[in-house]
Amino acid sequence: MNLTLKVWRQVNPTVKGKMVTYHVTDVSPDMSFLEMLDVLNEQLILDNDDPIAFDHDCREGICGSCGLMINGIAHGPQQTTTCQLHMRSFSDGDVIDIEPWRSGGFPVVKDLVVDRSSFDRIIAVGGYISAPTGTAPEAHSVPVPKQDSDAAFDAATCIDCGACVAACPNGSSMLFTAAKVAHLGLMPQGQPERDTRVLKMVAQQDAENFGGCTNIGECSAVCPKGISMETISRLNHDLLGALRAGAVPAS
Amino acid sequence: MSRVTSRSSVCHVGRGRTFAAVATVTQQPAQRGAPNTGRFSSSVVKKAVMAVSGIIMILYLIAHMIGNLKAFSGAESFNEYSGWIRTIGEPAVPTQTVLWIIRLVLLASVVAHFWAAYSLWAQARRARPVAYVTKKRVQQSFASRTLRWGGTIILLFIIWHILDLTVGAVNPAGGDTTPYERLIASFSNIPITLFYVVSMLLLGLHLRHGIWSAMQSLGQTNRRRERSVNALAYVVATVLTAGFLLVPLSIAFGLID
């Protein structure tokens, strides 16, 4: 099939970008979306043009590197990662708009690549547990209720792709932060830092120029891992609980 | 390998073949603003302020709506009810004490609600400095989208509403009248009634998303409760909107005079 792509081209963070139109021919419906972009890039290289920069790594939907705004929906029309989206989701003659994630916390590096180190800094302030190193302890020594372990696992499926931020009308990273807070806060091993973790991670998220949550639910609807809005409620509950318990985030 | 940078070292691998080991340098950009540790600077605390002040206002709205229905039992009953609000607690406390306590609590709620809303709106603007060329809605409701400008219109409505029916400054019948006379005068006027109806419909939308959002912000929702919280939001929003519309529409259509 033949497609018309309108792609956001931006040379570097300081220069203003714009949408540029490209035509791709002979696209196989079995190609992944990224393979289709690879084909376009090969064509651009042959034409001595600058290939389109985009992030990708595993192409198996598990690493969280890829992520594009496709026709106004984060990761495109299927609720999956961009690499797992196939061209059979489109039809011949389609015009596809491709843009980078847009948020104050995700400045554009080049074209479709954004700097997601803000996520690393949110993780760095609280996304850990204090556990003794050395030999792994006997797994059965700390019982975890099945319900809690299931909920923690659901939250732990977050791959940090940033689609939640991209889709949010407020540019908020709440679903991401909530997934980390719920993932660690539900486990017995995560209890010592539970109160300070939520306070620090939310403070960092606010400082990174992400917006506040207004419970609209766009994030959960595009999340490739289907992390639910319940996770955000859990974060709110934990944060208010931490304040009631008198926890103060050490700066 | 024409793009070897000054950071790269060129390694020789037998037979004169070389490859360039390109050093990967991670440039850590300066952190954008240090995190605020103040309690009320947290966006989640702002949402909790919004939720609590919203709940206080909803409780008042329920009482207000029930009070309005007194209009159906006639002028005397309506005016008597209005007078009773001013004399609650007498003679233990002076006239209007309870009324002023209610007014001050409501004023504090409105100010807190507005401050949280404005502050989160400003944060959301900073969070999306460059707009999308194309952005589609996946599942958001109309109610959730109209919260900000709907809330602003409701605020303007409240100011006008107090000037109209409480103070009487902008009332067609003037200020030196009984509450019932002001009520009839306002809703016999078509533009005033239309403004009231539009505001009440916006209030309904505001409550529909607001109640769900408040429960979520206070951490009280989960997958099991999701349906019941949404049902509660629909019921409260519908009952309040319908209850508030009943009196003005009855007057406009001549059922009460």
Tell me if chain B has a CB within 8 Å of the CB of A71.
yes
B232: enclosing H helix or E strand: helix B226-252
- Residues A174, A157, single domain; the answer is yes
Is A171 near chain B, with CB under 8 Å?
Answer: yes
Domain holding A61, by residue range, is: 3-110
Same domain (yes/no): A26, A50:
yes
| One domain, residues A148 and A235 | yes
pLDDT tens-digit profile of B47-63? Answer: 999 999 999 999 999 99
Q: How many domains does chain B have?
A: 1
State yes or no: pLDDT of B7 exceeds 70: no
Evaluate whether residue A31 is within a structural domain.
Answer: yes
Does the pLDDT of residue A11 top 50, yes or no? yes
Instruction: Give yes or no: residues A71 and A127 share one domain.
Output: no
The pLDDT tens digits for A160-170 are 999 999 999 99
- CA B243 to chain A, closest CA, distance in angstroms equals 27
In sequence order, the 6+-apart residues with CB closer than 8 A to the CB of B61 are B240, B244
The nearest alpha carbon in chain B to A100 belongs to: B132
Q: Is there a domain that residue A137 lies in?
A: no
What distance in Å separates residue A197's CA from the closest CA in chain B? 13
CATH of the domain at A201: 1.10.1060.10
Q: Is the peptide bond before A137 cis (omega within 30 degrees of 0)?
A: no
Q: At what angle do helices B43-68 and B226-252 cross, to 10 degrees?
A: 40
Most B CBs within 10 Å: which of A208, A215, A228, as the mutation test of the B interface?
A215
Q: What is the pLDDT of residue A114?
A: 97
**Minimal CA separation from B151 to chain A, in Å:** 14
Q: Would you say residue B33 has pLDDT above 70?
A: no
- Say how far apart CA A147 and CA A156 lie, in whole Å: 14
Identify the residue among B2, B28, B43, B119 best suited for mutation to test binding to A, counting A beta carbons within 10 A and taking the highest: B43
* Closest chain B residue to the Cα of A164, Cα to Cα: B138
Q: Does residue B10 sit within a domain?
A: no
Mean pLDDT across A30-36: 97
Query: Considering chain A, what is the average pLDDT of its residues?
Result: 95
What is the distance between the alpha carbons of residues A70 and A166, in angstroms, rounded to a whole number?
Answer: 11
pLDDT of residue B11: 44
Question: Quick one: DSSP state of residue B101?
Answer: H
**Do the domain assignments include residue A251?**
no
Residue B4, in any domain of the structure: no
Give me the pLDDT at residue B27, please: 57
Residue A250 domain flag? no
B182-226 residue pLDDT tens: 999 999 999 999 999 999 999 999 999 999 999 999 999 998 999
pLDDT tens, position by position, A114-125: 999 999 999 999
**What is the domain range of residue B54?**
42-63+70-124+142-252
Chain A contact set for B141 (CB, 8 A): 216
Same domain, yes or no, for A84 and A195? no
Provide the domain count of chain A: 2
On the question of pLDDT at A38 being above 90, the answer is yes
Would you say residue B74 lies in a domain? yes
Read off the pLDDT of each residue in A25-34 and give the average, rounded to a whole number. 96
Write the DSSP assignment of B2-20 as a string of letters: TT--TT-EEEEETTTEEEE
pLDDT of residue A139: 81
Name the band, by pLDDT with cuts 50, 70 and 90, for residue A108. Answer: very high
pLDDT band at A138 (very low <50, low <70, confident <90, very high): confident
Regarding predicted confidence, which is higher, A139 or B109? B109
Cβ separation B47–A237 shorter than 8 A: no
Point out the residue among A6, A72, A229 whose CB comes nearest to the CB of B136.
Answer: A72
At B256, the pLDDT band (50, 70, 90 cuts) reads: confident
Residues ≥6 apart with Cβ < 8 Å to A22: A4, A5, A6, A7, A40, A44
Q: Do residue A211 and residue B123 have CB atoms under 8 angstroms apart?
A: yes
Does residue A214 fall inside a structural domain?
Answer: yes
Q: What is the mean pLDDT of residues B231-249?
A: 97
**Closest CA in chain A for residue B134:** A72
- How sure is the predictor about B32, in pLDDT bands with cuts at 50, 70 and 90? low
Distance CA A192, CA A8 (A): 45
Write down the pLDDT at residue B4: 39
Res. B16: pLDDT tops 60 = no
Query: CA–CA separation, B184 vs B198, rounded Å?
Result: 19
Q: Residue A16 maps to which CATH number?
A: 3.10.20.30
In a shared domain, residues A75 and A161: no
- pLDDT of B13 > 80? The answer is no
- Nearest Cα of chain B lies from the Cα of A236 at a distance, in angstroms, of 5
Measured on CA atoms in the order B34, A216, A68, A13, is the torsion positive or negative?
negative
> Taking a C-beta distance cutoff of 8 angstroms, is the pair A204, A132 a contact?
no
- Say if B33 falls within a structural domain: no
Pairing of strands A18-24, A73-74: unpaired
Q: Are residues A149 and A93 in the same domain?
A: no
Kindly state whether residues A96 and A151 are assigned to the same domain. Answer: no
- Residue A136 scores a pLDDT above 90: no
Residue A180 counted as domain residue: yes
Per-residue 3-state assignment (H helix, E strand, C coil) for chain A? CCEEEEEEECCCCCCCCEEEEEEECCCCCCCEHHHHHHHHHHHHHHCCCCCCCCCCCCCCCCCCCCCCEECCEECCCCCCCHHHCEHHHCCCCCEEEEECCCECCECEEECCEECCHHHHHHHHHHCCCCCCCCCCCCHHHCCCCHHHHHHHHHHHCCCCCCHHHHHCCCCCCHHHHHHHHHHHHCCHHHCCCHHHHHHHHHHHHHHCCCCCCCCCCHHHHHCCCCCCCHHHHHHHHHHHHHHHCCCCCCC
Residues A124 and A229 in one domain: yes
3-class DSSP assignment, residue B198: helix
Domain assignment of residue A236, yes or no: yes
